[in-house]
Amino acid sequence: MNHSISYLAARSEKVSGRREADVVSPSMFHLRCKRSVSKPIIGRIAAVFLVGMAVTLLPACKGKTAEATVAKPVMAVELVSPKQESWGDEITASGEVTPWQEAIIGAEVGGVRLDEVRADVGDQVSKGQLLARYSEDVLRANLLRQDAAVAEAQANLAKAAADVVRADKLAESNALSAQVIMGYHTQAQVAEAMLASAKAQQRVQALQLRYARVVAPDDGVISSRSATVGSVGMVGVELFRLVRKNRLEWRAQVPAAALTRLKAGMAVTLTAVDGSKVTGKLRQVSPTVDAKTRNGFAYVDLPAASGLSAGVFVTGRFALDKRDALTLPETAVVLRDGNRYLMKVDAQNRVHEVKVDTGRRQSNAIEILGNVAISDRLILSGGAFVANGDLVTVIAAAGKPAP
């Protein structure tokens, strides 16, 4: 019985040991599988895995790349092309409006009081019109005194002439010596000279009396007045200034290089302070040039109703012969870094900067000097908001996409 039990226990331990040997841990199983699988098989599995991943991810990557490469227009623009026009050339200058001729009216009598002033600044006066009057009392008294001097000289001359007649009669009888007779003749000549002098002084006093009345030397307008009632005049003191004929001229300062292009009689357009336009006519050009400024003067006659005043500084343009010009609206020119550019749009609606120079201006148009053709498509406005190479959308004037 005991032998049987021992046998069964031994048998049970042997079976149990075999089962433990059959039960293998996961790590041991992985190691055995790794050793049992050959390297070529692992390579094939990895290749298949990578191909599958590539096939799965490639469509997504292609979609993102396509989205990134599609450029979007930066803005919508309206295009314009240059125009070939015939513009009149011009020279721009600045200068002061001055009287054509300004007469200075001064006092011609001295030592008398100014009794009356009848003209003031801005008054239109005619030639010979009374402007002011000095006191005539003293001047009339001086004239009367000189009249008396003339009468006295005439009496002296008459007496001397009578003495000469008597002396000549006595000379026939040798009653008087030749020396005495010559003395009578000399006295007569002196009396005649004294009469002429007295008459000259009489005319001077008459002129003094006439000069007491200050009159306008010509038609015009009073531009300045310094005459004051009650002041005692001195010969040569300025009383008034008169713009003769109320005629003004514009003295334009023109560079020496441009003076030769100006011809007498050409039209000139001035821009007044209030923006109005005044048309004048070039009268003459100065024959000399200022040594400091290198400018010469062009004298332009202005119409009587120009509305300008003497002393105003204005700008004007001299109209020259016409010549061709390639023009664009001013809005098409872009100022950038001190240079001027046009934004040219190609067939693919890409923007290209074109550096140009500008010339004459008329209204809202400007002359373009540079490598620009009439067929070029240029951005009309807003060119400052695009850069070289940008894509734009072209629209028509009505706001619809251009064909």
State which H helix or E strand residue 66 sits in: helix 39-69
CA quadruple 119, 122, 123, 126: dihedral sign: positive
Query: Residue 336: beta bridge partners?
Result: 339
- Based on the number of CB atoms within 10 Å of its own CB, is 202 exposed (0-12), middle (13-18) or buried (19 or more)? buried
At residue 30, what are phi and psi to the nearest 5 degrees? -65, -40
- Supply the pLDDT for residue 70: 65
Q: CATH classification of 75-85+324-395, choosing from 3.90.600.10, 3.30.565.10, 2.40.420.20, 1.10.287.3610?
A: 2.40.420.20
Q: What does the block give as tokens for 27?
A: 């790590």
pLDDT at site 36: 42
Domain-wise residue ranges, the chain: 2-66, 75-85+324-395, 91-100+247-323, 105-241
Contact 387, 380 (CB under 8 A): no
Do 75-85+324-395 and 91-100+247-323 share a fold? no
Q: Please give the pLDDT value at position 268.
A: 94
Going by CATH, does the domain composed of 91-100+247-323 fall within 2.40.30.170?
yes
Residue in the structure block whose two tokens are 């010339």: 359
How many Cα atoms are found within 13 Å in the side-chain-facing hemisphere of 291?
A: 0
Instruction: In whole angstroms, give the CA distance from residue 299 to residue 338.
Output: 36
Straight-line distance from the first to the last Cα atom of the chain, in angstroms, rounded to the nearest whole number: 115
Alpha helices in 98-177 (DSSP H): 137-172
Helix/strand/coil percentages in the chain, nearest 5: 35, 35, 30
* pLDDT beneath 70, residues of the chain: 1-70, 397-403
